[in-house]
Chains A and B, each alone.
Chain A
Amino acid sequence: GEQVEQRPPHLSVREGDSAIIICTYTDSATAYFSWYKQEAGAGLQLLMSVLSNVDRKEEQGLTVLLNKKDKRLSLNLTAAHPGDSAVYFCAVSEPSNTDKVVFGTGTRLQVSP
């Protein structure tokens, strides 16, 4: 089945810096990719989703890049601010079973003033 690796597990940046989180996956037929944000004591909030025919998507200071050749998905927070401090998860669909999504192990982002 699909295997997803997410890195780094912890990331500390200063306010205004960019933060990049990367996920790699194993199944080249994966069709759907998402990033979630989890704030302390809360559930997961969907940030952005892309289909496999999209290489780049930008929304509200977030950029998602999809490199299908390398099977790599990244989330770039440009000009991070303290409110971005949270745990971020990538999620990819499992094409052999469209009922399932495989999550990355999470990245704890700390943005200091």
Chain B
Amino acid sequence: EAAVTQSPRNKVTVTGGNVTLSCRQTNSHNYMYWYRQDTGHGLRLIHYSYGAGNLQIGDVPDGYKATRTTQEDFFLLLELASPSQTSLYFCASSDAWMQDTQYFGPGTRLLVL
């Protein structure tokens, strides 16, 4: 069974704060993704990666950086958090293309005050 974990599960920060969201998958999947989920928008892709050291820009990348340090680990970085980044963030992984089954983590709820 595919396993994707995220930490922290909940995070509160202030405007201008520095936040790192972590994602780990233990399935040796090539692809990993960061999404944000907001009411009325569904899931929107922030960044994704197809391997260690690789980073691809998603649909809503502004204000976010990401880094894929290993096959297993993908981090989302908010260096100057803003209230508009208050959201529920999901990490996912898949073996091949995005059309392949995506396995999602449990989500991280971020509140930026």
Contacts and interface: CB of A to CB of B under 8 A. Distances in A.
Interface string B80-100: 000000000010100001110
Nearest to A1: B59
Contacts of B45: 100-101
Interface residues of A, number: 21
Given A43-B4, A43-B106, A99-B48, A31 B42 contact: no
Contacts of B106: 41-43
Interface of A: 6, 31-32, 36, 41-46, 49, 89, 93, 98-101, 103-106
25 contacts: A6-B42, A31-B99, A36-B104, A42-B106, A43-B4, A43-B90, A43-B92, A43-B107, A44-B43, A44-B92, A46-B102, A49-B99, A49-B101, A93-B97, A93-B98, A93-B99, A99-B31, A99-B48, A100-B58, A101-B98, A101-B99, A103-B35, A105-B41, A105-B42, A106-B42
